[in-house]
Chains A and B, each alone.
Chain A
């Protein structure tokens, strides 16, 4: 029995092999293969005959008969999918040849229910009149009662193909995608949900206009919700709720646009193998979420976007990533409420304004803060940045009536997320301030409430204090920031493990606000504490924080008047870590900017030039918004011209830096912008425009004075040094002497680098000598010359300048 079973099985296998071989290689194969076994040959032939028999009755897949719909004759098939077939057709009722696309729904829609559904759907589609949506032109029923739609014929390529073929850079892709969102939002406002958004349903015309096609079809089919859920949609782009067969609304379309955006940006699907059923099942149950966009990019994808892999990774780990992940939230309520909200956030991103997409985690927030701090470090000055745009832009501005509900919801979520608890009284109390609520109000409110809310929960309190400290820092409220971070530190120290990286991050935060609060000694100390802890830690976030700590150490040493070598050493270490983190192409614009500024101030012009060129090239290659570090690079490049006494070049470059930064300031110049204006005023003053320069200096002085405190004092000392140089050029030596003297006094007290002070002393000496105060001038000029000569050598421009100034003396 077993024997016979085995024989049967082996004959079956032999049959199977011969069957396939005959199909693959032709029946003549059997002539030799079965030569010795005619019975086997007979069996195979019988199987092949059976195969022909059953497969012959399959509906033919080719040579379809092209149908006719009313006045339209079909010329070919444009596409055929799960929902139906789309024909290319023309109107041939003797009029001019007018080409259209005709859609026919598959299957019979014979029932009354379908017919009604179809008619109402057609009415909705007829209402959609948008330049990015293929228009419905006509529709009807065939003699057999088969409904059809006549649509505008779109001849284009699918969105993703269009972008890749043209190697469209990220920013160009975002612009194109913005039009898509506009169309989706328009449809939503007309109560039409697409439900099957995917690149192949978005065709881009030769003129570069994306057009949504296939609108409404999926909704029609949704009728059979129970069983068509997976057949009606494209699983790769379907939202989790769609995959679960639940009703799909606006949020579902937002999710699909999120998938499209993710693919346009990264070239990869957010869930790996998006076509697999396994993946669909896991997404439906919320088991997997989108991979971090920065990790999804490949060299090929980068090439198709005309950008290097490292650069692309960097771009796709910031705000843009947060935006994508928010659109891809498994929970519909956590996504953008509308396509418009997503579009708005992308616009904010492209304009370099703060986005609403919230970082997914505390660590992410820390990284984000650190990134901003790196920017601040690079600039070496205090300025409002990032979220600070909100100081001018109140949260309730513009279109209040229409957007009130949506924004209220966002603010509420924001507050709730910050606190991890819902409390409407908060929102109400802020709301009572009406249209003038600023981010600072929100933060103050949070600070004042923490104690009573979470006093009993130190862990939550520590987190909140840190968050609020960071927010104050972002708002340039450094004293408040430091106070909150200090409370967090005091509460964390007793409970933290030794070398806990989160403690290290806290020290980095502290060093940052202290540096910017002109507390250089404290900044140096805390940066060192951070380094001691974070050098032992692994993980990307910790390494990024460590890099910041080194940068802070460098700039704090600079603020403390340490030698150039002492300043540069930690910055170089930061650069090394940057290479390790971001690959060989490695140094970030921030690192390069910090090094450029330090070298520039030390008179190392060749090195500075090298760093500047590299940093600006990196910045130019980077799509999306550029940070303040880019502006700092532009500013320092202008300074290089100035040092080389090429005034025309300096004026042009300072103006370029201003032109770049101005649009981001919304009419309120940050101290950073003020600083550039001062240097431009100096340049113009040296070119003979004394009155104009003086006006600028006056304005800048008044603006700085409003900041107050030691910060303002240090800015004013810097400003006066520049202003005095213009007085010298204008021959107003007495005024120059006064300003030089005040400035030098400040810098001597505040431990600036001795070479820079020597340059300043030399200038003061000249102003004295010009007025015949030779007794005081002589030692100043001589000593400062010696200092400069010793540090810079005999040929440096500072040395030759100082030597020339001595010649003023009789």
Chain B
């Protein structure tokens, strides 16, 4: 074992501390799930996953259930755990993009996307670093939306799953995602306002 794994009883406590802003708690938590998330991230980045999108939700379910089963971790901490795992996955991918992304990029013919909604970011390239930076900026204005985005796109949760986890309606999640993604897109891809009259209204595709 490379990492010090926190004792089971600590996990609930650490999740609570992390949620209250204690960054050190995050570092202590990470080893508990790092290896598995890392494995998922790797196979995803290598294009081995048949779905071609990042779907770590099931894995996180499994990890969380295992924690619950083998320890005193409370169900109350479920949302914290997901948020934590999503945050950790984001970091794993960013690390990957920072260290290896540049050289690995040449070996892969196609871009890797987190989700169809984020097809405009190649997740295995330095583009992800820009996204990460923009997310950090957004978090200063609206941390709740970043949490939603992380769960939705770094864990690959569906709108429905994210809504259930966050205790919100699905419509609310979709609305938040639409705005936050547009905000990020605008920040990263910029450009001038398009002539709206000639475009199809994208709404009709989301019914």
A228, closest chain B residue (CB):
B58
Name A30-73 residues within 8 Å CB distance of B: 42, 45-62
Q: Mark B73-85, 1 if CB is under 8 A from A, else 0.
A: 0010010000000
**Closest-CB distance, A198 to chain B (whole angstroms):** 16
**Closest-CB distance, A767 to chain B (whole angstroms):** 81
Q: Which A residues lie within 8 Å of B56 (CB)?
A: 227
The reply to whether B116 and A59 form a contact with Cβ atoms under 8 Å apart is: yes
The reply to whether A230 and B199 form a contact with Cβ atoms under 8 Å apart is: no
Given A9-B141, A12-B142, A278-B75; A284-B58 close (CB under 8 Å): no
The reply to whether A54 and B117 form a contact with Cβ atoms under 8 Å apart is: yes
Name A537-562 residues within 8 Å CB distance of B: none
Interface Cβ pair total, 8 Å cutoff: 139
Name B34-55 residues within 8 Å CB distance of A: 40, 49-52, 55
Q: Is A109 an interface residue (CB 8 A)?
A: yes
**Closest-CB distance, B175 to chain A (whole angstroms):** 6
Name A268-306 residues within 8 Å CB distance of B: 275-278, 281-282, 284-285, 287
Which one of A27, A111, A227 lies within 8 Å of B59 (CB-CB)?
A227
Q: Is A16 an interface residue (CB 8 A)?
A: yes
Name A1-27 residues within 8 Å CB distance of B: 5, 8-9, 12, 15-16, 19-20, 23, 27
The reply to whether A48 and B182 form a contact with Cβ atoms under 8 Å apart is: yes
Among B8-16, B22-30, B101-109, B190-198, the one that faces the other chain is B190-198
Given A276-B164, A281-B65; A54-B120 close (CB under 8 Å): yes
Given A45-B193, A230-B58, A278-B75; A51-B178 close (CB under 8 Å): yes
The reply to whether B199 and A56 form a contact with Cβ atoms under 8 Å apart is: yes
Q: Is B18 an interface residue (CB 8 A)?
A: no
The reply to whether A285 and B69 form a contact with Cβ atoms under 8 Å apart is: yes
Q: Which A residues lie within 8 Å of B58 (CB)?
A: 226-231, 245
The reply to whether B181 and A54 form a contact with Cβ atoms under 8 Å apart is: yes
A280, closest chain B residue (CB):
B61
The reply to whether B194 and A23 form a contact with Cβ atoms under 8 Å apart is: no
CA distance in complex: A194, B205 (Å): 33
**Closest-CB distance, B198 to chain A (whole angstroms):** 10
CA distance in complex: A56, B200 (Å): 8
Name B82-105 residues within 8 Å CB distance of A: none
Q: Which of under 10, 10 to 19, 20 to 34, or 35 or more describes the interface residues of A?
A: 35 or more
**Closest-CB distance, B140 to chain A (whole angstroms):** 8
Q: Which B residues lie within 8 Å of A108 (CB)?
A: 50
The reply to whether A51 and B175 form a contact with Cβ atoms under 8 Å apart is: no
**Closest-CB distance, B194 to chain A (whole angstroms):** 4
**Closest-CB distance, B15 to chain A (whole angstroms):** 15
Q: Which B residues lie within 8 Å of A53 (CB)?
A: 120, 185, 189, 191, 194
CA distance in complex: A275, B196 (Å): 39
Name B118-147 residues within 8 Å CB distance of A: 118-120, 140-142
**Closest-CB distance, B62 to chain A (whole angstroms):** 5
Given A12-B141, A19-B179, A19-B182; A281-B165 close (CB under 8 Å): no
CA distance in complex: A761, B193 (Å): 110
Which one of B52, B59, B116, B202 lies within 8 Å of A52 (CB-CB)?
B202
Which one of B52, B55, B178 lies within 8 Å of A231 (CB-CB)?
B55
Given A59-B116, A229-B62; A54-B51 close (CB under 8 Å): no
The reply to whether A277 and B164 form a contact with Cβ atoms under 8 Å apart is: yes
Q: Is B203 an interface residue (CB 8 A)?
A: yes
Q: Which B residues lie within 8 Å of A27 (CB)?
A: 196
The reply to whether A281 and B50 form a contact with Cβ atoms under 8 Å apart is: no
CA distance in complex: A449, B182 (Å): 77
**Closest-CB distance, B180 to chain A (whole angstroms):** 9
Which one of A20, A231, A284 lies within 8 Å of B65 (CB-CB)?
A284
Q: Which B residues lie within 8 Å of A54 (CB)?
A: 117-120, 181-182, 185
Q: Is A244 an interface residue (CB 8 A)?
A: yes
Q: Is A360 an interface residue (CB 8 A)?
A: no
The reply to whether A107 and B50 form a contact with Cβ atoms under 8 Å apart is: yes
Given A47-B183, A227-B40, A245-B62; A282-B202 close (CB under 8 Å): no
Name A66-107 residues within 8 Å CB distance of B: 107
**Closest-CB distance, A503 to chain B (whole angstroms):** 39
Q: Is A776 an interface residue (CB 8 A)?
A: no
Q: Which A residues lie within 8 Å of B183 (CB)?
A: 15, 47, 50
CA distance in complex: A58, B50 (Å): 19
Q: Is B5 an interface residue (CB 8 A)?
A: no
The reply to whether B119 and A55 form a contact with Cβ atoms under 8 Å apart is: no
CA distance in complex: A19, B200 (Å): 17
Q: Is A224 an interface residue (CB 8 A)?
A: yes
Q: Is B169 an interface residue (CB 8 A)?
A: no
The reply to whether B65 and A244 form a contact with Cβ atoms under 8 Å apart is: yes
The reply to whether A50 and B205 form a contact with Cβ atoms under 8 Å apart is: no
Q: Which A residues lie within 8 Å of B204 (CB)?
A: 62
CA distance in complex: A48, B78 (Å): 35
CA distance in complex: A8, B137 (Å): 12
Q: Is B148 an interface residue (CB 8 A)?
A: no
The reply to whether A46 and B186 form a contact with Cβ atoms under 8 Å apart is: yes
The reply to whether A16 and B205 form a contact with Cβ atoms under 8 Å apart is: no
B158, closest chain A residue (CB):
A231
Q: Which A residues lie within 8 Å of B206 (CB)?
A: 55, 61
CA distance in complex: A50, B185 (Å): 6
CA distance in complex: A31, B158 (Å): 35
Q: Is B57 an interface residue (CB 8 A)?
A: yes
A17, closest chain B residue (CB):
B179
The reply to whether B205 and A62 form a contact with Cβ atoms under 8 Å apart is: yes
Given A227-B58, A278-B164; A16-B179 close (CB under 8 Å): yes
The reply to whether A58 and B189 form a contact with Cβ atoms under 8 Å apart is: no
**Closest-CB distance, A241 to chain B (whole angstroms):** 12
**Closest-CB distance, A114 to chain B (whole angstroms):** 8
Q: Which A residues lie within 8 Å of B194 (CB)?
A: 49, 52-53
B50, closest chain A residue (CB):
A107
The reply to whether A230 and B57 form a contact with Cβ atoms under 8 Å apart is: yes
**Closest-CB distance, A106 to chain B (whole angstroms):** 8
CA distance in complex: A55, B178 (Å): 9
Q: Which B residues lie within 8 Å of A42 (CB)?
A: 193
CA distance in complex: A282, B78 (Å): 11
Q: Is B111 an interface residue (CB 8 A)?
A: no
Q: Is B153 an interface residue (CB 8 A)?
A: no
Q: Is B154 an interface residue (CB 8 A)?
A: no
Given A27-B196, A229-B62; A47-B182 close (CB under 8 Å): yes
The reply to whether A107 and B179 form a contact with Cβ atoms under 8 Å apart is: no
Q: Which A residues lie within 8 Å of B32 (CB)?
A: none
**Closest-CB distance, B137 to chain A (whole angstroms):** 10
Q: Which A residues lie within 8 Å of B182 (CB)?
A: 19, 47-48, 50-51, 54
**Closest-CB distance, A282 to chain B (whole angstroms):** 7
Q: Which A residues lie within 8 Å of B190 (CB)?
A: 46
B160, closest chain A residue (CB):
A275
The reply to whether A285 and B189 form a contact with Cβ atoms under 8 Å apart is: no
**Closest-CB distance, B147 to chain A (whole angstroms):** 16
The reply to whether B191 and A49 form a contact with Cβ atoms under 8 Å apart is: yes
User: Other than the known A55-B202, A226-B59, what 16 A-B pairs have Cβ atoms closer than 8 Å?
Assistant: A9-B141, A27-B196, A48-B196, A49-B186, A50-B183, A50-B191, A51-B182, A51-B202, A53-B191, A58-B119, A61-B207, A107-B51, A228-B58, A230-B58, A244-B62, A285-B65
Q: Would you give 29 A-B contacts (Cβ < 8 Å), ordered by A?
A: A9-B141, A20-B175, A23-B178, A27-B196, A46-B186, A49-B191, A49-B192, A49-B194, A50-B182, A50-B191, A51-B182, A52-B196, A52-B199, A54-B120, A54-B181, A54-B182, A56-B202, A57-B116, A62-B205, A108-B50, A109-B50, A114-B50, A227-B56, A229-B58, A244-B62, A278-B78, A281-B64, A281-B75, A285-B65
Q: Shortest 7 CB-CB distances between A and B: which pairs? A: A45-B193, A50-B185, A55-B202, A51-B182, A50-B186, A49-B194, A50-B182
Interface residues of A (CB under 8 A from B): 5, 8-9, 12, 15-16, 19-20, 23, 27, 42, 45-62, 107-109, 111, 114, 224, 226-231, 243-245, 275-278, 281-282, 284-285, 287
Interface residues of B (CB under 8 A from A): 40, 49-52, 55-59, 61-62, 64-65, 68-69, 75, 78, 116-120, 140-142, 161, 164-165, 175, 178-179, 181-183, 185-186, 189-194, 196, 199-200, 202-207
